[in-house]
Amino acid sequence: MRMFRLLVSLIFFFSILQNEAFGQVGRDSTRNERRNNASEPSWKDRVRFGGNFGLQFGNITFIDVSPLVLYAVTDRLQLGVGVTYQYIRFNFPTLRTSGNSIYGGRVFTRYFLFPGVFAQAEYETLSTRYYDAFTNDIKRALVPAGFIGGGYSQQAGGRAAINVTILYNLLYEQYKFQSVYASPWVVRVGFNL
């Protein structure tokens, strides 16, 4: 719940920053002129799709399908939602494991500080299997993650872009043993169209 409040606070902060610092017009007559302007993008033009996808086969099998939807509230502020499915299995002669399906969702806000450079806040919850040493059993748990960080978005023609994001998980230590991440730092490479 704290991460949800943090996310809402960041969205509110960036909205105020957009309105005040970058001179967004506040008069009704000017707003109406902008709405009637043919160059003003429609809501369909503000929606972008993308995500992260990955495959690895061999001693470690890893499959990642993480689509997302972005909505550009302004030229600088984007809100997003995504789902994640990951499958991982280790297949070494001394260590054979059954596969682990990891799935869940995320919401995030992205604010462009400069052209191409953005700050991001994200809340993610993933369901994963883990070994409980107290009961000597495999269990499934919902593991939250609260990320902050930033990245770079490189235009790749038209509305397409390639994104590199570096995030830090503020909740990593609290859920360290159930975490799907080996470190509090997460690097993602993805795209949006």
Where in the chain are the domains?
2-192
Q: What is the pLDDT of residues 1-48, one digit of tens each?
A: 554 555 455 445 444 444 444 444 444 444 455 455 557 778 888 899
Q: Which CATH architecture describes the domain 2-192?
A: Beta Barrel (2.40)
Question: Token pair for residue 101?
Answer: 């399906």
- DSSP 8-state secondary structure symbol assigned to residue 41: P
The overall pTM is greater than 0.85: no
pLDDT in tens, 171-187: 988 767 677 888 899 99
Considering only CA atoms, which of 167, 104, 122 is closest in space to residue 8?
122
**Predicted pLDDT of residue 65:** 94
Q: How far apart are CA 93 and CA 105, in angstroms?
A: 34
Mean pLDDT is lowest, of 40-44, 64-68, 75-79, 162-166, for 40-44
Which of 34 and 140 is assigned the larger pLDDT? Answer: 140
Distance in angstroms (rounded) separating the CA atoms of residues 91 and 95? 6
| Pairwise CA distance, residues 131 & 138, whole Å | 5
For residue 89, with 0-12 CB atoms within 10 Å meaning exposed, 13-18 middle and 19 or more buried, which class applies? middle
Other C-beta atoms closer than 10 Å to the C-beta of 93 total 6
**Cα dihedral 74, 75, 76, 82 in deg (nearest 10):** 70
Question: Residue 144 is inside which H or E element, if any?
Answer: strand 137-155
Q: Smallest Cα–Cα separation from 6: which of 184, 150, 173, 146?
A: 146
Joined tokens for residue 104:
């869940």
Comparison of pLDDT for 42 and 122, the residue scoring more: 122
